[in-house]
Amino acid sequence: MQLRIPGPTPCPDEVLKAIGRQMINHRGKEFGEMTNRIIPKLKQCFQTKNDVVILSTSGTGGLESAVVNTLSPGDKVLGISIGIFGDRFGECAKTYGAEVIPLKYEWGQTAKPDDVRKALKENPGVKAVLVTHNETSTGTTNPLKEIAKVVKEFDKLILVDAVSSLSSIDLPVDAWDLDVVVTGSQKGWMVPPGLAFVSISERGWKAHAEAKMPRFYFDFSRAKKFAADGQTPWTPTVSVFFGMDVALDMMLKEGLPNIFARHARVADKARAWVKSKGLQLLSVDERFASNTVTAVKAPDDMDVAKFTSTLRDEYKVVIAGGQGGMKGKVFRIGHLGFITDKDMDEIIAAMNGALPKAKK
Amino acid sequence: MQLRIPGPTPCPDEVLKAIGRQMINHRGKEFGEMTNRIIPKLKQCFQTKNDVVILSTSGTGGLESAVVNTLSPGDKVLGISIGIFGDRFGECAKTYGAEVIPLKYEWGQTAKPDDVRKALKENPGVKAVLVTHNETSTGTTNPLKEIAKVVKEFDKLILVDAVSSLSSIDLPVDAWDLDVVVTGSQKGWMVPPGLAFVSISERGWKAHAEAKMPRFYFDFSRAKKFAADGQTPWTPTVSVFFGMDVALDMMLKEGLPNIFARHARVADKARAWVKSKGLQLLSVDERFASNTVTAVKAPDDMDVAKFTSTLRDEYKVVIAGGQGGMKGKVFRIGHLGFITDKDMDEIIAAMNGALPKAKK
C-alpha cells in the first residue's frame, strides 16, 4: 500500500523496527541519552541554535503551545490564513482570548508581503503574526522568508505553523529570524504521529516570560527545565522518540539539501502529471505550489470519492480528498517524508489507471 | 530487563508487533473500524456506559482535559491530595483559574471521607471535587467509593485521576457514579505512552456545556463529534491505537476480575517481601497500600540510588526512586499491567541480592 496522504506518512522499515522496541524508563539514563542525541539533530533540521522542545501531542497541540506560551488574553494578533490550517491557528488563538485580526485569502492564494505590511501599519497594537508556512489543505506554500522580513520591520513576534514543511522544504529558522516554529512527527520526519517539535527564539522566550494565557501540559518553561536532563515534564510518547532517533540519522545522512531537492523533484513530477491530464492545481500561481502536497481541482465531471476509493481498492494507493468546504472539489497527493522518484512514478501510474474510472 | 517502574510498563510481544505496524490513513475506513472496536472495549474496562474519549497525550494531559472541559475560571474546587499527583491535579486547576481549596494529607495517608464531608459542608460553593484514585508517588489507594458517595451526597461533580489504577484495580465508573475519569495508556494497559482515555458522565457533559475555561486541543465536544465517525479531531498517535486494539483483547480474554486478582496477588508478594526484610511501607495503613505500585520507606542506612542502580546494572530490574521531596527516602516497585507472579518472584530475588549492597 502506498500511503500518500499529507500525513501520517509511511515509515521506513528501520523506523518501524525502532517504534516496536520494548519500553524503557523515561527517567533513566538511556532515555536521557537518546533525547540528548535527538535534540541536536532536530536543531540541524530546524537550521537553528534556538531551543527546540519536544511535546507529546499532534501538530495542532504544537500550534496551541505556540499560542498559549507567548500571548496574553486580549493581545492583538494578525492571523494570516490561506486555508484550513491557517484558520485553525487563528481559531486556537481566539479560544484563548487573543483578538485575531484576520488576513484571509482565497483557497489556492498565498499571503502577499505587502498586505502584511499594510495590516501591521494599520494595526500598530499587534503583538504577533500567526502564519502557516505550507498550507496542507490547499497544497500551497507561503513566501515565508518575505513575510518574516516584513514582520521583523515592525519588530513583531512571528509564530509559524511549519507542520507540513519543516524537514521537507528549506526553512532556515535562524536565517529568517523566526520566533516560534512548530512541526509534527508524522509529516516529513518519516515517523508516526505522537510528537510535536517547537523551536523558540530569544524573542519567543521574552514573550513567554510575559505571556498570561494559561498553560500547564504545554508549558515551555517546564519542557525546557526537564530538557536540561534529557527528560520531559510528563511521560513522553517513548515509541516515537525511538523512531525519531533512527529517522533523524537517515535524514542527516541523506543531507538536508538532498532531501529538499528530492521533494522538489517528486513534486515536479506530480505537477507535470496534473498538467498532462489537463487538470488544474489549486495553487493559482505554480511558483507557490507545495513540494510536500499537491492539491488538484476536480473537474465538474469527476467524482473525487470514486477516484480515491478506486485508487485505494484497485491500485493500493491512498490519497486524500479535500478538507472542509473543499470536500468533493479537490484531491490531494501527499509526497513528503519517505518517498522516492520511483514511488511517485507508481502513484502516477495508479492515478492514470483510476482517473478514467472516476467520472460522475 | 524487567522494567518495574510505575509506567511506562512492559508491553507483550503481540503489542510491540502491533505498535511497529506501518502507518494508515487516520481518516480512512481501517482506522475508523479500529477505533470503533477500541472504544467499546475501553468502556468494558471502565465498567461504564458513559462516553469514553481518546486523547493523544499523557496522563497529565488527560487530567488537564478533565479540568478545562468542566470548570470555569473562578470556580471553587476541593483538591484532595495525598501526594505529588494530587498536588499536580490541583495545580493544573489553579493554573486555569479555579479557586482550589486544598484537602491535603501527609505522604502515605489516604483521604478520609468524613474530612471530605466536612470540607464540603464548610464550602457550599464548591463545584467539583478533584481526587486521585491511586497515588503513584506514595503507593497508596484512596477509598474512592466512599469518597464518591460523600461527593454525591452534596451533588457535586467528581473528577478522578485513575491514571495508575484503571484496568488494574477495580473501578466501576457507573456503579460509583464518577463524572470524569482519566487514565493513561502506559500504565495498566500494557501499551506505550501516548494516549489518555477519559470517561464523561451525563453530569460531566452538563458541566462541560457551561464550562468557560479555554480549550482547543483537549476539547471534549470536538472529540465526541469526531468519535461518531471513529475518528479524532487531530492526528492521533496511531501506533498506540494499534497496540491498544491488541492489548484490550488480551485483557478482556483474561477477564477483569482475574486481572484485579492478579494485581492483588502480585502486590501481596511485594508487601510480604517488604515485611520480611523489616522494611516499612510508605502507606501508613496497609489496607490502602496500592496493588499497582509499592512504595517503601528507605531505612536511614540505605542508599536508594545505589539500590536502584545495582538492581538495574547487576540484576536487570528497573524500579523507581522517590519523587520530589521523597527522593532518597523512598523506593517504588511498579507492578501493574503486564506482570505475572513469576515476574514478581524474579524481582524479589533481585531485590534480595541488591539490598545488602545498598548500604550507605
Q: What is the pLDDT of residue A269?
A: 98
CB of B34 closer than 8 Å to CB of B213 = no
Give the residue among A153, A129, A154, A155 at the shortest CA–CA distance from A142.
A129
The answer to whether B62 faces chain A, any CB pair under 8 Å, is: no
Q: What is the pLDDT of residue A146?
A: 98
Q: What is the pLDDT of residue B222?
A: 98
Query: HEC states along B17-53?
Result: HHHCCCCCCCCCHHHHHHHHHHHHHHHHHHCCCCEEE
Residue-wise pLDDT for A242-280, tens only, equals 999 999 999 999 999 999 999 999 999 999 999 999 999
CB of A177 closer than 8 Å to CB of A152 = yes
Task: Please state whether the peptide bond connecting residue A8 to the residue before it is cis, i.e. omega within 30 degrees of 0.
Answer: yes
Instruction: Find chain A residues with C-beta within 8 A of B196's C-beta.
Output: none
Minimum Cα–Cα distance from A2: chain B residue: B24
Residues A244 and A167 in one domain: yes
CB of B178 closer than 8 Å to CB of B158 = yes
- For residue B232, the distance in angstroms to the closest alpha carbon of chain A comes to 11
Measured CA to CA, the distance from residue A258 to residue B52 in angstroms comes to 45
Instruction: Find chain B residues with C-beta within 8 A of A313's C-beta.
Output: none
The pLDDT mean for chain A works out to 98
Q: What is the pLDDT of residue B178?
A: 98
The answer to whether A229 faces chain B, any CB pair under 8 Å, is: no
What CATH number does residue B154 fall under?
3.40.640.10
Q: What is the pLDDT of residue B357?
A: 97
Residues B62 and B183 in one domain: yes
- For residue A64, the distance in angstroms to the closest alpha carbon of chain B comes to 7
- For residue A182, the distance in angstroms to the closest alpha carbon of chain B comes to 15
Q: What is the pLDDT of residue B262?
A: 98
B321 falls within a domain:
yes
- Residues within 8 A of A (CB atoms), B 300-359 only: 312, 318, 320
- For residue A243, the distance in angstroms to the closest alpha carbon of chain B comes to 10
B222 falls within a domain:
yes
Residues A120 and A222 in one domain: yes
- Give me the residue label for grid cell 528501520: A14
In the structure, what pLDDT confidence band is assigned to residue A143 with cuts at 50, 70 and 90? Answer: very high
- For residue B309, the distance in angstroms to the closest alpha carbon of chain A comes to 10
Chunked into runs of 10 residues, chain B (360 residues) has average pLDDT values of: 96 98 96 98 98 98 98 98 98 98 98 98 98 98 98 98 98 98 97 98 98 98 97 98 98 98 98 98 98 98 97 98 96 98 98 96
A8 falls within a domain:
no
End position of a domain, from candidates B224, B252, B280: B252
Q: Which of A20, A22, A92 lies closest to B10 in CB terms? A: A22
Q: Do B11 and A3 touch (CB under 8 A)?
A: no
Q: What is the pLDDT of residue B42?
A: 98
What CATH number does residue A335 fall under?
3.90.1150.10
Q: What is the pLDDT of residue A206?
A: 98
Give the residue among B155, B201, B153, B182 at the shortest CA–CA distance from B65.
B182
Residue-wise pLDDT for A56-75, tens only, equals 999 999 999 999 999 999 99
End position of a domain, from candidates B195, B219, B252: B252
Residues A205 and A227 in one domain: yes
A2 falls within a domain:
no
Range of the domain at B341: 256-358
Give the residue from A5, A163, A183, A237 with the most B CB atoms within 10 Å of its CB, the best one to mutate.
A237
Long-range contacts of A326-330 (CB under 8 A, 24+ apart): A326/A84, A326/A107, A326/A137, A326/A138, A326/A282, A326/A295, A328/A298, A328/A304, A329/A297, A329/A298, A329/A304, A330/A138, A330/A282, A330/A295, A330/A296, A330/A297, A330/A298, A330/A304
Considering Cα of B58, then B81, then B134, then B221, what sign does the dihedral take? negative
Residues B108 and B156 in one domain: yes
**Mean pLDDT throughout A194-202?**
98
Q: What is the pLDDT of residue A339?
A: 98
Instruction: Find chain B residues with C-beta within 8 A of A5's C-beta.
Output: 25, 27
Residues A59 and A86 in one domain: yes
B5 falls within a domain:
no
A4 falls within a domain:
no
B331 falls within a domain:
yes
Residues B218 and B80 in one domain: yes
- Residues within 8 A of A (CB atoms), B 101-160 only: none
A6 falls within a domain:
no
Domain count, chain B: 2
Give the residue from A5, A15, A57, A87 with the most B CB atoms within 10 Å of its CB, the best one to mutate.
A57
Residues A224 and A311 in one domain: no
* pTM, rounded to two decimals: 0.98
Instruction: Find chain B residues with C-beta within 8 A of A235's C-beta.
Output: 7-8, 58-60, 184, 186, 193
Q: What is the pLDDT of residue A41?
A: 98
Instruction: Find chain A residues with C-beta within 8 A of B186's C-beta.
Output: 23, 235, 238
Residues B213 and B89 in one domain: yes
Q: What is the pLDDT of residue A309?
A: 97
Query: HEC states along chain A?
Result: CEECCCCCCCCCHHHHHHHCCCCCCCCCHHHHHHHHHHHHHHHHHHCCCCEEEEECCCHHHHHHHHHHHHCCCCCEEEEEECCHHHHHHHHHHHHCCCEEEEEECCCCCCCCHHHHHHHHHHCCCEEEEEEECEECCCCEECCHHHHHHHHHHCCCEEEEECCCCECCECCCCCCCCCCEEEEECCCCCCCCCCCEEEEECHHHHHHHHHCCCCCCCCCHHHHHHHHCCCCCCCCCCHHHHHHHHHHHHHHHHHCHHHHHHHHHHHHHHHHHHHHHCCCEECCCCHHHECCCEEEEECCCCECHHHHHHHHHHHHCEECEECCHHHCCCEEEEECCCCCCHHHHHHHHHHHHHHHHHHEC
Measured CA to CA, the distance from residue A322 to residue A187 in angstroms comes to 18
Strand order in the sheet with B180-184: B51-55, B196-200, B180-184, B157-161, B126-132, B76-81, B99-104
Residues B237 and B318 in one domain: no
The answer to whether B97 faces chain A, any CB pair under 8 Å, is: yes
Q: What is the pLDDT of residue B169?
A: 98
Residues B54 and B82 in one domain: yes
End position of a domain, from candidates B252, B268, B299: B252
Q: Do B235 and A7 touch (CB under 8 A)?
A: yes
Q: What is the pLDDT of residue A358?
A: 97
Residues B78 and B210 in one domain: yes
Q: Do A56 and B59 touch (CB under 8 A)?
A: no
